[in-house]
Chain A
Amino acid sequence: MPPLELPSVEWSQMAPELILIVGALALLMAGTFRREKSMVSGACIFTIATAVAALVASAGLWHDVAGGRGGARLVMADALVIDGFGIFFTVVICCAVILGALLAHGYLKQERLEAPTFFVLMLLSASGGLLMAKANDLIVVFLGLEILSIALYVLAGYHQRREQSREAAIKYFVLGSFSSAFFLYGVALTYGATGSTNLGAISEFLRSQTVTQGVLLGGFGMLLVGLGFKVAAVPFHMWTPDVYQGSPTPVTGFMAAAAKAAGFAALLRIFFSAFGNQRLDWQPIVWALAVLSLLVGSVLAVVQTDVKRMLAYSSISHAGYVLIGLQAASTRGIAGSLFYLLAYTFLILGSFGIVGLVARKGDNLTGLDAYRGLARSRPGLAFAFTVFLLAQAGVPFTSGFLAKFYVISAAVESHSYAIAVIAMMAAVVAAFFYLRLIVVMYMADDQEMAGLGPTAGAPMPAPLNVASVDGGGVGTAVASAMMATKVEIPFAAGLAIGACAVFTILAGLYPQPFLDFARHAAILLL
């Protein structure tokens, strides 16, 4: 028997992923040996240190890639690619880990949940996200997708005592498995059409091919379904509101940021890079997905009375904006998508961080009601939320404005005027519900709420079977009693929210370094 030829393994090139995985395993071991209360802070700090180490390792790689020493390269038998694009997402996902861990710290203490496992799952899912961003092979994308998702399924149901949390986990798991199956089917069809799962080989094959086969189109479609589910693009968004609402709030923030980033990393790389030659085939589909996400996301957000659900719908419309960048299929478009995701990560984590704090003990107060008068009781928190909401609405001198500007400029540059106008109109609709939340925080007295359409005063629809907003174990009387208590701001969560707010304003005032980063990452897409 001839000796089995093993591919060479470039360990140093995979440093960020390895650091996260090793960190996760170490934390898991530590967690089994020690079970004290103090573990929350220790585990949180360890997680952050791990993510920072991964960031440092990425900085080294970025230096290599951008600084000319070899540039972008393929490693691990061409299964992974080390390029600016992948490193960009490494940075985004690691930032999400750091911020998510800070937000989770207070939450885990307050809800008395076991700490180490939570952070282990977070690190593992992040490593899956990293793999997705750097995969050069559809099978590796799938591996990353599963590592990311399985950890997230567990995280969604992490608060076992809350019915909503368990329900969210089941929903996410069932629908997520379906979408993974779609993705795999797409991989199979693509393999059938092109003879390879390697993105480079696929791209090579498609370059020599002028006629598009039905099988390949089927493959495109299936891959798009699978990844569209992860990024919560309409019409694959059905799970989003329920899962976002039911999951523990820090998990929601992390999920909204990291899973979306990873999903888009794979989506952008597969379609722009590997299927770039066939863009005329997929551009109309992406166009439709983008428009649907924009409209459905912002219109349905308007009728929500639960802030978590509202942010879930708004994150759907954000996915639409990122898709605009892909639809443009230009370097500017990809750079726009990247910058959008960077800005979005901080916005959404900050927003959900605040939602988590306002929800108070039990994680139940997420109705608009709970925000009434927040500006008086917690002016700092209200101000930070205002910054995030205005940025999401696209108000100037915030990162959110530049992000929208970037993707829309890419659309206009490629003469997609219709989608640019639709996107701006969706932004106007979206502005309505962001503003409504600001009104509740700053201006609302009881009688004025009447003029605001569906507000906290109106009866709640029951979005989950078992749970209305006040549901779970907390009765209405208890809820209103809790609403009277002042929102507590744990140090770690305050730090995370502050960092998000500072980034949002800083990137709005002095965007050059971040724009450069996104542009370089887009250029260095192999």
Chain B
Amino acid sequence: MPTLADIDEAKKECVAVLDSRIDAAQELLNDASGAAAAKLVGVIDQLTKKRLDIFTQKYIADLKSEAMKNALDVIKQATKDMNEVAQTMKTVTDFINKAAALLGAGATVLPALKGTNS
């Protein structure tokens, strides 16, 4: 079974082969004109697309990998923990604000009630 290093080496070789072909096509294009030039532009487009595809496939494999999934799970859990703790202080603050408002109202009402009773 090929190792990751083997796959990486094979990828580099493929890219090197494509690069040399792209360079060769570009050299031909520099001396071409008309329909021949248009055709060579098409060839270079195909070769550069193949080159890009090698990198794209590697990225897709990494994006969908188990390692990426596990790493994102850890990050999501840490996010949840921090948000919960951050929220605690806000909840306590809200509670104190409400209690203070209630006491404030009490402080206003109490003297009035005392006045009525006396």
> Are A and B a genuine interacting pair, yes or no?
no
Which residues of A are at the interface with B, using a C-beta cutoff of 8 A? none
